[in-house]
Amino acid sequence: MSLEELLATRLLVQGNSGSGKSHLLRRLIEQSAHAVQQVVIDPEGDFASLAQVFGHVVVDAAAQSENGMRQIASRTRQSRVSVVVTLENLDTERQMRHAGAFLNGLFDIDREFWTPILVVVDEAQLFAPAVAGEVSDDARKASLEAMTNLMCRGRKRGLAGIIATQRLAKLAKNVAAEASNFLMGRTFLDIDMQRAADLLGIDRRQAEVFRDLERGRFVGLGPALSRRPVTIAIGEVKTHSHAGGAKLLPLPEMTREEAKGLLFQSNAPQTPRYVPEQALGTEALLETLDHAPAVVVPLLAAAEPRPDLAAGSEPEFRAPEPPPALPEANQGGGIEAVLDQLFGEEGAIGRSVSSLYDEFLARCRTRRLSGRVLDIVHFRRKLVLAQAGITASIAALAGWDLAQAQANALDEQFQGLFLHLAAAALQELPCPSDAMIAQACGSHSQRRALGVLTRMQQMGVVEIYEELNGQRVVVLPGLQWRTAPGHTSDPLAWSG
């Protein structure tokens, strides 16, 4: 890459989450750190580690006022010190205001300080969103204007904008339009692919190649890169992101009683930090598995077997043998009845999973059922499904297994709400009301549940739109499903 050319132009990086954008930015920053002043706008606190090796000064935005941010930005230009602006401890609105103030501080500076500076913005759609979101209008205007200044009018002042985004369709068009260098990584959604093709001036069918890119590979084009599209593999980096990839980590071995003691006893000894001997990969983990057929309690009796496993031509990993029949013919049915009753009770919402599980075991005992055939993990899954209103008939709908698979990949706290929204979308029903959202989260507090929804929005798991009449629509981009518009406070809204 020609750094001089880059300083005279701008660069846009796009690729779905996990495609390797932040790694790419890190590589670029590390490789050019000795040659040019740098500012990194870092919403996730990923880049602070640059400080240890390359001497960047970390600016923790949460400790500054907006005015403070503006002043630090001017001093950054005057002193030509490289900085990482960490925004991770701020809510979305303050992230926008603080980043906007900092960028404006870089921009509004006397001509004598117009020296070249790389301004790297990760997750740029947060600061230049294409549509209005939950944040107030003036916060959005402030940060959008600052991003527009950076990308459209910054060059004369020495600002070379480098922005990365996971969804082109979510980034304000005017901010993307000024880039003349592009690095396009793995992209799944048609709408992003089309925007990418339009930006690059290539045929939409050609953009299909972005679908098959591996992590860490990008198609590059532009004056600082290449006159024709080339595929580039991004090399190693010296510093590391604190986020890191997901690794499998064995759990400490202890009995249930020991675990309870550790959590609840007031005089429990300080637990030593658990250091696993070795983190196992998936392959290694599979080898350690006991091959005896496990007693698997199907999540939902009516769920259809996956056709690819049933009819598959030698699948690599075979589905376990069907579970042996339970001792008593109607034991499974009895357990289902206990669950239905328990989950249907008024007080079930908001109670902890473990206390509900204890209650479940107790009720099974009084009916002479062995509740233990359902372990707490499967019990929790059933609870999540019940709270989310996922009945056997919904689970049997075509396409539901896709929703379930995506939910399984999410953190536990998001699964219930995700499933609830997916069920509404799949059935083309209105977007659930706030009250239903709270119930799907297993919470009494609508505020807390809406917080969960907002976090899902920030992670890109859902997109939320408001219709002109105030109704809400939720889009699940990973499934390309959307709900019908629904009132946020309609007590008659779909209740699963």
Positions that interact with ligand ADP (CB under 6 A): 15, 17-23, 215-216, 234, 241, 244-245
- Of 11-40, binders to Mg ion (CB under 5 A) are 22
Rank residues 31 and 370 by Cβ distance to ligand ADP and give the closer one.
Answer: 31
Residue 19 CB, shortest distance to Mg ion, in Å, is 9
Residue 400: count other Cβ atoms within 10 Å of its Cβ: 20
> Which residue of this chain has its Cβ atom nearest to Mg ion in the complex?
22
Rank residues 218 and 400 by Cβ distance to Mg ion and give the closer one.
Answer: 218
Rank residues 22 and 439 by Cβ distance to Mg ion and give the closer one.
Answer: 22
DSSP lists the bridge partners of residue 482 as 475
What does 20 bind: Mg ion, ligand ADP, none (CB cut-off 5 to 8 Å by kind)? ligand ADP
Residue labelled with tokens 């233990």:
372
What does 161 bind: Mg ion, ligand ADP, none (CB cut-off 5 to 8 Å by kind)? none
DSSP per-residue letters across 290-356: --SPP-PPPSSTTPPPPHHHHS-SS-SSPPPPPPPPPSSTTHHHHHHHHHHHHHHSGGGTTS-HHHH
Beta carbons of 11 and 220 less than 8 angstroms apart: no
Q: At a CB cut-off of 8 Å and minimum separation 6, what does 372 contact?
A: 361
Residue labelled with tokens 């004598």:
112
> Which residue of this chain has its Cβ atom nearest to ligand ADP in the complex?
216
What does 83 bind: Mg ion, ligand ADP, none (CB cut-off 5 to 8 Å by kind)? none
Rounded CA-CA distance 66/72 in Å is: 10
Rank residues 19 and 488 by Cβ distance to ligand ADP and give the closer one.
Answer: 19
Helix (H) or strand (E) holding 159: strand 159-165
Rank residues 22 and 181 by Cβ distance to Mg ion and give the closer one.
Answer: 22
Rounded CA-CA distance 479/481 in Å is: 5
Residue 159 CB, shortest distance to ligand ADP, in Å, is 22
Q: What is the 3-state secondary structure (H, E, C) of 90-103?
A: CCHHHHHHHHHHHH
Residue 23 CB, shortest distance to ligand ADP, in Å, is 3
- Of 103-122, binders to Mg ion (CB under 5 A) are none
What does 234 bind: ligand ADP, Mg ion, none (CB cut-off 5 to 8 Å by kind)? ligand ADP
Rounded CA-CA distance 193/186 in Å is: 10
Beta carbons of 68 and 36 less than 8 angstroms apart: no
Residue 382 CB, shortest distance to ligand ADP, in Å, is 32
What does 406 bind: ligand ADP, Mg ion, none (CB cut-off 5 to 8 Å by kind)? none
What does 180 bind: ligand ADP, Mg ion, none (CB cut-off 5 to 8 Å by kind)? none
Residue labelled with tokens 């959202």:
437
Residue 97 CB, shortest distance to ligand ADP, in Å, is 24
Rank residues 215 and 351 by Cβ distance to ligand ADP and give the closer one.
Answer: 215
Rounded CA-CA distance 6/220 in Å is: 13
Residue 241 CB, shortest distance to ligand ADP, in Å, is 6
Residue 21 CB, shortest distance to Mg ion, in Å, is 5
Helix (H, G, I), strand (E, B) or coil at 273: coil
Q: At a CB cut-off of 8 Å and minimum separation 6, what does 112 contact?
A: none
What does 15 bind: ligand ADP, Mg ion, none (CB cut-off 5 to 8 Å by kind)? ligand ADP
- Of 318-347, binders to Mg ion (CB under 5 A) are none
Q: Backbone phi, then psi, for 204, in 5-degree steps?
A: -60, -30
Residues in the chain: 496
Residue 331 CB, shortest distance to ligand ADP, in Å, is 45
What does 415 bind: ligand ADP, Mg ion, none (CB cut-off 5 to 8 Å by kind)? none
Rank residues 213 and 356 by Cβ distance to ligand ADP and give the closer one.
Answer: 213
Residue 241 CB, shortest distance to Mg ion, in Å, is 8
What does 19 bind: ligand ADP, Mg ion, none (CB cut-off 5 to 8 Å by kind)? ligand ADP
Residue 47 CB, shortest distance to ligand ADP, in Å, is 11
Rank residues 22 and 95 by Cβ distance to Mg ion and give the closer one.
Answer: 22
Rounded CA-CA distance 440/432 in Å is: 10
Rank residues 70 and 186 by Cβ distance to ligand ADP and give the closer one.
Answer: 186
Rank residues 30 and 434 by Cβ distance to ligand ADP and give the closer one.
Answer: 30
Rounded CA-CA distance 96/171 in Å is: 14
State the chain's maximal CA–CA distance in angstroms: 86
CB burial of residue 421 (10 Å; 0-12, 13-18, 19+)? buried
Nearest CA to 462 out of 492, 442, 490, 432 is that of 432
Rank residues 232 and 280 by Cβ distance to ligand ADP and give the closer one.
Answer: 232
DSSP lists the bridge partners of residue 121 as 41, 163
What does 216 bind: Mg ion, ligand ADP, none (CB cut-off 5 to 8 Å by kind)? ligand ADP
Residue 491 CB, shortest distance to Mg ion, in Å, is 40
What does 482 bind: Mg ion, ligand ADP, none (CB cut-off 5 to 8 Å by kind)? none
Rank residues 268 and 459 by Cβ distance to Mg ion and give the closer one.
Answer: 459
In order of 64, 94, 97, 145, 365, the CA distances from 138 in angstroms are: 19, 11, 9, 10, 59
Q: At a CB cut-off of 8 Å and minimum separation 6, what does 455 contact?
A: 414
Residue 477 CB, shortest distance to ligand ADP, in Å, is 15
- Binding-site size for Mg ion (CB under 5 A) equals 1
Residues that bind Mg ion (CB under 5 A): 22
